[in-house]
Structures are given as C-alpha cells and as structure tokens.
Amino acid sequence: MCSAEGTPPVPDATGLELTAHELRDRHAESIIGTDFAHGRATLIADPAHILEVVGGLKEKGYTFLASLHGVDYYPDEPRLGIIYEMMNTTEVDRISVKARVSTEDARIATVTELFPGAEFPEREVFDMFGVVFEGHPDLRRILMPEDFTGFPQRRDFPTGGEPVLFTFNEEDSYGKWQ
C-alpha cells in the first residue's frame, strides 16, 4: 500500500501488478490489463471471467463492494463499461475492476451471489445502460417505467423530450389556455 497523504489508500503500481498476476495464475484469461493513474488502481477484466476476478479479490480481502456502476465509452467499442469499486476494510485498501461489453451483446454475469448488495446497482445499470446481468434474481427496471423504450444513460440516447408549456409559447404549442 502506497498512497499520497490525504488520499484513500490503494495498491501501488507494483501491488496492482502482483494482484493481477495472482488472478491470472488462477484463470489465465481473466485479467486483460491493469491501469494505475491518478492514484487509482484498476484491473481490466474479461467480462466472461468477472465472477472469478471479483471472487478472487473477495478471497484476497476485498470484502466490501462499495460501488457498482455503468459507463458509456461512445464511440469506442466495446462501448459499455461496468465498474466495480471494491474495498479491503481491514487494510483500508481500494481497487477498481472494469469490464467492457459491446452494445450488440451487453451481457455479464451477476455478482449478487458474492455480494447481495449488488442487486439494486445491477438493476440500475440494466435500466440506464441495457447491460443484462445473467443469473440476476430480479432483473427489471428500477428507475424508468416498465414500458419505457431505450436506455437513457447511453450517449446516443436522444436528448430533449416533450415540450414544456410556458406562457411565452402556449399559443404555439397547445393553444391559449382558458
């Protein structure tokens, strides 16, 4: 552990590489790469092996899933990212795991068996980005109506919406109110 004064502890670059090596020893294709930038340690995982990576980190002491969220890397492919922020509460150590899936096949295994608290964040990522978490116990929309079409957090989602009636445009929109 090597962090600047006043920042949350994370594994240093060497510690990150050692962690990646340990996970690769268990499952050779599980870790695609590592990134250590701005004091943030990130493992880049193959989506097909996300359970092995997150499970391996849990065994290593990262027993708290602090956050699970989605990202859209439009126009890059694979476009959709799922980021798991994990914490070792004993050593107060943080690490991120990033997996990316394409919009054509936006599927990844659920981690709710390992972290039951992932149920609602996974539903939110499904609702906002359209990532299907295979094996999820209750995968349905959580924020948008069930009949809503599309995924509002994707960068190609149309912005705008229904016109709002103000007094300056009421005659042009709906006619004069009386």
User: Domain residues for 22?
Assistant: 13-155
In a domain, residue 161? The reply is no
Phi, psi of 170 (to 5 degrees): -65, -35
In a domain, residue 165? The reply is no
For the entire predicted model, the pTM comes to 0.84
For residue range 109-161, list pLDDT tens digits in order: 999 999 999 999 999 999 999 999 999 999 999 999 998 899 999 998 877 76
Q: Which of 1-5, 56-60, 97-101, 156-160 has the lowest mean pLDDT?
A: 1-5
In a domain, residue 36? The reply is yes
The pair of structure tokens assigned to 146 is 């069930």
What CATH number does residue 20 fall under?
Answer: 3.30.460.80
In a domain, residue 174? The reply is no
In a domain, residue 166? The reply is no
Residues 6 or more apart in contact with residue 157 via CB below 8 angstroms: 150, 151
Name the strand (E) or helix (H) holding 72.
Answer: strand 64-72
How many domains, the chain? 1
Alpha-carbon distance of 154 to 157, in angstroms, equals 5
In a domain, residue 123? The reply is yes
In a domain, residue 1? The reply is no
